[in-house]
Amino acid sequence: MKYYTYSKNKIVPYLFIAPQILVTILFFIWPSMMAVWQSVQEGDPFGISSEWAYIYNFKDVFLSKSYLHSLWITLLYGLFVSVFATVFGLILALLVCRVKRFAYIYKILLIWPYAVAPVIAAVLFRFLLNPAIGILTEFFSLFGYEWNYHLNQWDAFWIVVVSAVWQQISYNFLFFLVGLRSIPKSLLEAASIDGASNFQRFFHITLPLLSPTTFFLIVMNLIYSFFDTFGIIHIITQGGPSNSTNILVYKVFNDGFVGLDIGVSAAQSVILMLIVTSCVLLQFKYVEKKVHYS
């Protein structure tokens, strides 16, 4: 392929992409490399001296019970966040597609949460579900449930799941809305003439045709829940109580920056990177076969 060029200058094109390359190297590639380097080093907490630790950091990680617990919590968390965000996003998009009047108001309101910074969202849920003054806490107590996410592990787990889902629904909603719009109306009409009920039309026509969108969103949601919910957890639970919300990315931070065990923390981040990468690759290998791209 021949590129469209206005000048024969060989340097200018590189200058144009230099800022992007620089940012990528500085903030993504170099830190990743450093993490890999540090994961095989044993350093003092001040970062002054270090020596080769080979695979001992990794051995430490896999032998620690708290890490395995964290792994289990993360998988559970990722599963719930992805499934709920996808399902609710789809349901809301379907409903908005059916609304005839003021659809744009619903659209704006449903996309709004995505514009809220994770930290702000987390503060919001902290207010709503605060054990002392939370309005939802009050509501739960009407049914005799004593809500307290500072004490109850599952309360803590659900509050971070709900906050994360609340934010991610908007993203899913937006993609599903566009996906639904791109399905030709005549297909659904043809199906209804063929005798398909509402449910049959949805499961036989709409859902299969949305599969590329759904697949993409599940991958994105998984990555989101594994990495981007750090802010929510940091504000609401700090990984507690008793590590019930200590997902892998938060444990990396806790062990490295709070516990100052740089080597083990780096090993964890390398493992996390591998876990997410293999998750995505597995999805591409197995799930994508069932996806229909038109």
The footprint of other proteins (CB under 8 A) covers: 184, 186-187, 189-197, 200, 204-205, 208-209, 211, 292, 294
Q: In angstroms, give the least distance from the CB of 100 to other proteins.
A: 14
Q: In angstroms, give the least distance from the CB of 181 to other proteins.
A: 16
C-beta closer to other proteins: residue 211 or 283? 211
CA distances 246 to 77, 125, 188, 249, 293, Å, are: 10, 18, 46, 8, 38
Task: Name the DSSP class of 219.
Answer: H
Is 169 in contact with 88 (CB distance < 8 Å)?
Answer: yes
Element (H, E) at 41: strand 41-43
Q: In angstroms, give the least distance from the CB of 185 to other proteins.
A: 9
C-beta closer to other proteins: residue 8 or 185? 185
Of 126, 116, 113, the closest CA to residue 156 belongs to 126
Q: In angstroms, give the least distance from the CB of 191 to other proteins.
A: 7
C-beta closer to other proteins: residue 128 or 196? 196
C-beta closer to other proteins: residue 153 or 211? 211
Q: Cα separation of 23 and 219, whole Å?
A: 25
CA distances 18 to 14, 28, 61, 157, 171, Å, are: 6, 15, 38, 43, 31
